[in-house]
Amino acid sequence: MPSDQNPWNIGGNGARRPPPTPPTPPWGGGLPPEFDRFLDQLRILFARFFGGGSAFRGIILGAIAVAAIWLATGFYRVEPDEQGLVLRFGAYDRNTPPGLNYHIPWPVESVLLLPVTRINRVEIGFRSSASDDQDTAAASPARDLAAESLMLTGDENIVDINASVFWRISDAAAYAFKTRNPGNTVKSAAESVLRQVIGRTNIQSALTGGRAAIEQAVTTGTQAILDQYQSGVEITQVQLQKVDPPADVIESFRDVQRANTDADTARNEAQSYENDIVPRARGDAAAILAQAAGARQAAISAATGEAQRFLSVYAAYTQAKDVTLKRLYIETMQDVLKNAPAIVVDDKLRGILPMLNLSQPSGPAAGDQK
């Protein structure tokens, strides 16, 4: 009599009862005979090794649980400042945006998360604790590196420069797979362009007003090199932290700077004096010229009037000579005698020399000299 645990009487008296025929589905048909025999053999095999149907069901449930856990490992989260790169069998397949995403679990697919909005920083000429260049960062909080900071200018002087380069990831796939060490690549490209720009710049311009132009030129040149490398990096800013002469000669440079400042001050004072005195001199000259022009015009006008008067008298003289001569004599004597002092002489006096005093001026001035 078969037991409930061994419905096919396996391991009993050797007799094997065939499995019961499954009921026919209500919709008709059933499993193919070949597949039905395959299932029977599979049940027999599991019953032989694991001791019955309950073990078979446990294995099936365990396999389903393992498969569910394996599939659940495909869920992953991308932060707002990140971008996910899905690799299928180690090769780049696609990008994933921020949020909850899914990929086929390992070993089929894996995910690489990159911070695409974070601003990174590399330093040229010095190292500080804030540096993101971990491969070359110094153990001390901050120190200068003369091998990087000393550069030759266009007028063959040496200048000590410290610069910071800020960058971010613009193309996550290119950043991850086309550049082995992006941080060192950015640093090497920026240092090369900085040396090239300083080599075309005079030291005076680099020390004073040319820093903005240098920063812009380094930003543009470094970005061009990184784009040529397809590095997936964007240069956001270049800052010159320090632009000084070398430490050994900095005092001499400061003396030169002070001398240049004094020269500029004297030049400005001279220019101010010139701007003050020249307009005043030009104004005085213009006034003298105007007065001379007025006097000239007045003299010309007076001479013209006198000439016209003479011509008028001459025309009258040609018409009546006696009358004109008598009139001229009378007018002349009137002009001469009208301001002369009157002297009354007795007729009885003898020996008095009559004299006409012509030394005193005529007109109102004669009265002032009394």
For 231-268, the pLDDT digits (tens) are: 899 999 999 988 888 877 778 777 877 888 899 999 99
Task: Please indicate, yes or no, if residue 137 is contained in any of the structural domains.
Answer: yes
Cα 91 to Cα 366: distance, rounded to the nearest angstrom: 125
Residue 236 token pair? 């956001």
Same domain as 165, residue 64: no
Q: Phi first, then psi: give them for residue 158, nearest 5 degrees.
A: -110, 135
3-state secondary structure at position 235:
strand
Cα 226 to Cα 181: distance, rounded to the nearest angstrom: 12
Residue 318 token pair? 């040609």
Q: What is the CATH number of the domain that holds 178?
A: 3.30.479.30
Give the pLDDT confidence score for residue 138 in this predicted structure.
40
Same domain as 111, residue 81: yes
Cα 97 to Cα 223: distance, rounded to the nearest angstrom: 26
Q: In terms of residue numbers, what domain contains 92? A: 75-115
Same domain as 238, residue 138: yes
pLDDT in tens, 82-135: 888 888 887 788 888 888 877 778 888 788 888 888 899 999 988 886 555 444
Look at the chain and count its residues.
370
Same domain as 48, residue 111: no
H or E, element range at 239: strand 233-244
Residue with tokens 């990159």: 114
Task: Please indicate, yes or no, if residue 23 is contained in any of the structural domains.
Answer: no
The answer to whether residue 15 scores a pLDDT higher than 90 is: no
**Mean pLDDT in the chain?**
78
The answer to whether residue 158 scores a pLDDT higher than 80 is: yes
Give the pLDDT confidence score for residue 140 in this predicted structure.
44
pLDDT in tens, 29-65: 555 566 667 667 766 766 665 555 566 566 777 777 8
Same domain as 127, residue 237: yes
Q: How many CB atoms lie under 10 A from the CB of residue 72?
A: 10
Q: Phi first, then psi: give them for residue 295, nearest 5 degrees.
A: -65, -40
Task: Please indicate, yes or no, if residue 252 is contained in any of the structural domains.
Answer: no
Give the chain's domain count.
4
Same domain as 206, residue 229: yes
Q: How many CB atoms lie under 10 A from the CB of residue 186?
A: 25
Assess contact for 158 and 250: CB atoms under 8 A.
no
Domain boundary among 244, 262, 278: 244
What percentage of the chain's residues is helix, strand, coil (to nearest 5)?
50, 20, 30
Give the pLDDT confidence score for residue 54 in this predicted structure.
61
Amino acid making up residue 144: D
